[in-house]
Structure 1
Amino acid sequence: MLKIGNISLPEFPLLLAPMEDVSDPPFRRLCKMHGADLMYSEFISSEGLIRDAIKSRKKLDIFDYERPVGIQIFGGDEEAMALSAKIVETVEPDLVDINFGCPVKKVVCKGAGAGVLKDIDLMVRLTKAVVRSTHLPVTVKTRLGWDNASINIDEVAERLQETGIKALTIHARTRAQMYKGHADWEHISRIKQNPNIEIPIFGNGDIDSPEKALEYKGKYACDGMMIGRAAIGYPWIFNEIKHFFETGTLLRKPTISERLEAVRQHAEWSAEWKGEKTGLLEMRQHYSNYFRGIPHFKDFKRRFLEVFTLIEMEGLIAETAAFYQENEFSER
């Protein structure tokens, strides 16, 4: 059993990464069903929360079936971060997470996300402000450093632990790498070997298969793993990894019928949460991921993109299922 504050998790938990425009309640619900142990909201601007911005407030929606769940905030102003943590508290998540890792230019230019990696003293002040303002456990997600010439994760880990955070997730890339190149987990291994580090350290970056997850678990000795892009359109990855850890054998891949059922659930929950029109419009980014590698899906994808009601969606799913059943395509 692993603890983050008063939150009990499995011995080696698998976390769903906070991903903008992806990690919303419908997607989190699917990932929870398929084995995710801890999930985070999309990241939320501290300034947006204080301004009462509708989009920011909507991201505070959490539901009991997805617990434990954390709300992730970002910003570069101590007072705003402290106040936003108090606002987050009102919806009663299980923890508050601080984003010091987002590499996107519009975030970095505001001195937030990975932009804070250039100023560790500021990072510490921002973190202290959040820790002091809430009774909830506070965690942090960050990167190795700004670029290869300024990797500072060793100092960051020690100093953030001193602020009172309860866990640290390290995306094993620099900001300069964005999401490209190789995630270097050797840095995570070094942090774990530091006798001064007592909080759980979670690794993130490049985990896209059960085999790699097991290899990295043994090689780098982290306390758990956060999975991001590999879960988009493939929530089954969490249970696949757990099964491989336990048995050394691979679960069969989801069938076409199971993929279609996941799309149906995702679309239904999206429509319920966002409204039918918006929910189905925002589903468009997911179809290619759900059916990656499935033969002859191109024509169906075009039609899925033209669906605007749940009734149309149900009909198209039934037609798609019938096509693959009739033509006896292997379900892989």
Structure 2
Amino acid sequence: MSRRCLRFQLIWLLLATAAQYCHAITVKIHTEDARATLLAMQNPNLSHGEALTIAEMHGNQAVLRKLHEFKITSTTEDFANALYAMAHGQPVTKPNEKNILLEIEKPKIPQLLALLQQIETNPKGFQQTIERRIAVFTPPNADIHLEGYVVAAGDGGGYAFGSTDFFLNIGIVDDLAVAQETTTHELYHAVQGAFASDRELNLSNSQSLKKEACVETGHLFNNLYEEGSAMYVGDLSLLQQSHSPVAARMLADIDDGLKHIDDSATLLEMSVIALNADQPVSYDDMYSVDFLGHGVVYMIGDVMAKAIAEEDGPQGLAALLKQPTYNFVLRYTQLHNYGADKDYPRLGPNTIAAAKRLAGGCH
């Protein structure tokens, strides 16, 4: 074979390999919702109509949707009333208006506007760094467009709702390093949303009397996979670059969670048992214990995702974006080091049996 032919073959191979691992992930981050909210609180001439227009913005509607997940029934009108009151120096007294939490934001407005400025003017250091991290854990040739909205109201530092939109609340996440970690976490949730149909559980052929329990257990494994993998991809090491109280609390919670990782696995096991009992616990009640507050079950999910990524590589974790989430549980139990030490804690027998049952179609 001539050197010229060999050279062309090598060039073709390099191009083919590069194409195979090409990711088309684009991210657009909107900061106008947060900016409008913060500036409105400083405007003593704000009209109620202007406050209502801000409350109706897409990101601020997501603030309300998140509150509704916490069983808080605040409305668009409540948001507007709270914003109007803050702008005019009036007290916010009604519970549904206080739950918008604008009173927490107002003393920090200069700091939060400066953080918005950092996010907007440093796309290479903020947004592009996040995109590169996400691409490593995304299937080759993925073509995904994601929309992020920065808000400054409500509870929760960041959230997503299963679509390709994600939300960052700088009122809670008020430091650039924390914002970067939280945005990466929520952005990966948006990536998960892009592949949600690939992970759907198919139990159409099941005639089992326990089919409803299988569906609820499938939801539990969905949350375990989604939160665990997003927590790992979010890159918690970023928090060590921050000196903010928020980062310190997050790092302390993570350290405590890892010290008690067996408790996380035990709670997961108890949740599987509770969902499959003759008189099952409701999924909402179970979810609030597992994933809200201290989010105890987050930790076993993070450890599982980390272990899979270390043994199978980042693309091994990425492959699970397109598989039913019982495979997240089963693949973890198949790892070479599974159960070897505290970094690979064992799962409970009911958890493993439930994953196998789902894999078998819940028969």
Fold agreement, TM-score > 0.5: no
TM class by smaller structure: under 0.3
Q: Which has the higher helix share?
A: 2
- Please report the TM-score for the alignment, with normalisation by the length of structure 1: 0.27
Larger Rg: 2
